[in-house]
Amino acid sequence: MLESFIFMLLLKSLAPEENTKCQQGLYFQDGKRRVDYVLTYHIKKTSSSRRHTSRLRDNAFTRTLRRGREPPPPAPKDDAEVGSPHHSMDHHDDDKCLRREEFESNLMEMGLELERDEETKTPGMGFVKIHAPWSILCREAEFMKLKMPTKKVITGVMEKINVFISKLTDPLHPNLEENRTQKVKHLSYPFSREKQHLFDLSDKDSFFDSKTRSSLVFEVLKRTKCTKAKFSMGITSLLGSGVYLAAYPLHDVSIHHYTLLYEEWASYSVFYKYQPIGLIRKYFGEKIGLYFAWLGVYTQMLIPASLVGVIVFLYGCVTVDDDIPSMEICDQRKNITMCPLCDRVCSYWNLSIACGTARASHLFDNPATVFFSIFMALWAAFFMEHWKRRQMRLNYEWDLTGFEDEEDHPRAEYEFRVMQKSLKKDHKSQKPEKEKLTCRDRFPAYMTNLIMMLLMIGVTFAIVFGVILYRISTKAALCAHGGCLMELCIQLSITMLGKQLIQNNLFEIGVPKLKKLIRYIKSKRGSFQEEEYEKKLQRYETDHFLEPFAGLTPEYMEMIIQFGFVTLFVASFPLAPLFALLNNIIEIRLDAKKFVAELRRPDAARGKDIGIWYNILRGVAKVAVIVNAFVISFTSDFIPRLVYQYMYSPDGSMHGFVNHTLSYFNVSHFQNGTAPLEPFHLGFHVDICRYKDYREPPWSLTPYEISKEFWAVLAARLAFVIVFQNVVMLMSDVVDWIIPDIPKDISLQIYKEKILMMDLFMKEEQGKTRIEDSYKETSTLTRSRSMSHTACKNY
């Protein structure tokens, strides 16, 4: 009961209804300096006497941090507390403490301001709050070449057609103030301390927003070294070695952006609206903004694909009563006797039993399926081109034109292993060189992964061969008489509904909440009283209980797998785009709620594209053409029906197609022990039964051999694969060639901005020249007057 109350209190603290005027945890104790970043570490539980002395010492260190001076020297060796065997600190924890003190001292030398808080309501946890002064922010912004808005404003950014479309779709846009000011854009220029006059610095507190401030501080944390025990790789190595438990920026609930994100993005009631991509970028950074922009474009493009897929499915429903092969299978008057499906136990059966399967197969296996496969291949090409244009537009709006992607920083675990390797080496006998993990260092991990992969592959093949052997022994290796496409359709529908729509969403909702609850309960195991639980947590404590951000790779992977299902097997399941659309509508709001309320605020990372994922999408789209060609040719009955209609049908219709695909078998040719135990199951004696295959009848010169019809169908199937693949890929390349990657209005605006920026610089230089000339003239005039006055006095 107590834990549930704590959990509800935590969720309440995450809600945007929190009083934004309350700045607990968002500022230093003085209430003026903003907390830009937080480091957390573990505090070892000690006795009361030790805790009292440690508190005094830590408070002294905190005061030193606030004053910006070096930390005090360690306690002397004759300290009674340190020398006491009952109260001695563990060597490992003591070493971590020394590293923290040195690292924090180095941070202060870099210009950052720190404040430590160990008297929190979270037992065993210490927090270091970091603030970056204006001078440090300017220095880092200049170092990173951040493009910041200048005083110069450019108008008429949107074309008339875009303005018309924006007004037409106004009900679908989120209620944001920035949507009303899209016609105006500030010229941007890489920040420089020497050219501060170009920028609007009237309000220095808001010039660098919270996202930019935290990213600049993180750059300092990555570069700052800790030389004790040869730690020289910044905050990532300290996180990997456990010196610090976590490092994260705070969710700034005091700003209006957080409330807007919660109301206009993370709410299921606005599922029909566009995402506030600009606001997402302002709060989370460009890379996360690009992910959600790509997800929005993908979901938007699924709408026409879903409509066409539903039309194809409805076409199958409307024409199912006119499908001649299905009518022949369901016709009980023909009384086609089929051979047993297994040895001994199974008996003869009538083909009319497969009526339901045949009619259901026609819903997905019909001539419209081929059209839909071609449509989806072109849809994938349009989607890729549409995203490239959208990405270029976002690059212009977010001032990323000309930006080169930053090199990804190594993971904390990798840097820690490199550090361990450097500690083991004898640097006295070797030349100094950059440490890295060699193939020899990676070999154990590679071998472990390889063994596990081979084991899983072996288990998979064993399962498959086990099923094949069972089918060989039971003669059950045939598709249903309505075609093999129905079985594939059932598998895909279960995968799309069960895994994508239900399992993934449930796991994304439940797992973060469960982990957060467990972490919160574990942290509260102590001698705290119940009333202390009810006290409101500081913002940095609340964020500590949130799930750490694990990167965008799982999010992209989930969508790439879904994209593969939508494009690779669309010929067998036309409703896949519809299920993907429904899943993504939920996925967008679910991810939004997760980023706003369930995860710690990620470090704002810059990026101008989605990286390698775009190439993966292109590869999947290319492979999808080949896969769909083989699915239509070898899995569906589309090609056998065409071959029969134009080569073997006496009247050019589909009448007699079912009989054409069934071969004859003499029941007297059963091997010993394989004949059915109940041969009179149908009420009469059976001499000849039928099975689905293209083989010679028992009365021919070559009984049960492959017939010439089989080779004709196989040749037609292979020819269709070649023609379909080349035609569809050619059409996709034509679409790629026709549509330009950069929208025309964006290219014109970029060119216009370059000219305006040159004019701005020319005016600034001319103004400087005039000021310098006037200053020189004033100085000369003053000097001449002084000389005249001196001459008069001498005279």
> According to the model, what pLDDT value does residue 511 have?
73
Name residues of the chain where pLDDT drops below 50: 1-22, 47-89, 181, 229, 231, 427-429, 432, 471-477, 525-531, 533-534
Q: Give the per-residue pLDDT at 503.
A: 67
Task: Give residue 423's pLDDT.
Answer: 53
Give the integer Cα–Cα distance in Å for 369 and 669: 40
Q: Count CB neighbours of 421 within 10 A.
A: 14
Whole-model pTM: value is 0.80
Q: Which residue has the tokens 């606030």?
A: 66
Single-letter amino acid code for the residue at 463 = I
DSSP, residue by residue, 529-583: -HHHHTSPPPHHHHHHTSBPP--SHHHHHHHHHHHHHHHHTTTT-TTHHHHHHHH
92/103 Cα distance (integer angstroms)? 17
Quote the pLDDT of residue 298: 95
- Residue found by looking up tokens 């593969």 in the block: 564
Are 544 and 122 spatial neighbours (Cβ–Cβ below 8 Å)?
yes
Gyration radius of the chain's alpha carbons: 36
Tell me which amino acid residue 19 is.
Answer: N
**Residue 238: alpha-carbon gap to chain centroid:** 27
C-alpha separations of 406 from 215, 219, 283, 391, 423 in Å: 13, 12, 19, 17, 29
* Model pLDDT, residue 621: 92
Helix axes 708-738, 612-630, angle to 10 degrees: 150
Helix (H) or strand (E) holding 151: strand 147-155
Provide the token pair at 660: 């054409």
d(C-alpha 394, C-alpha 404), whole Å:
15
Nearest to 154 by CA among 787, 746, 764, 782: 746
pLDDT 10s digits, 72-81: 444 444 443 3
**Per-domain residue ranges of the chain:** 284-418+480-515+555-639
Strand order in the sheet with 337-338: 349-350, 337-338, 688-692, 662-666
Are the CB atoms for 146 and 187 separated by under 8 Å? no
pLDDT score, position 671:
85
Question: Per the structure block, which two tokens stand in for 185?
Answer: 């854009």
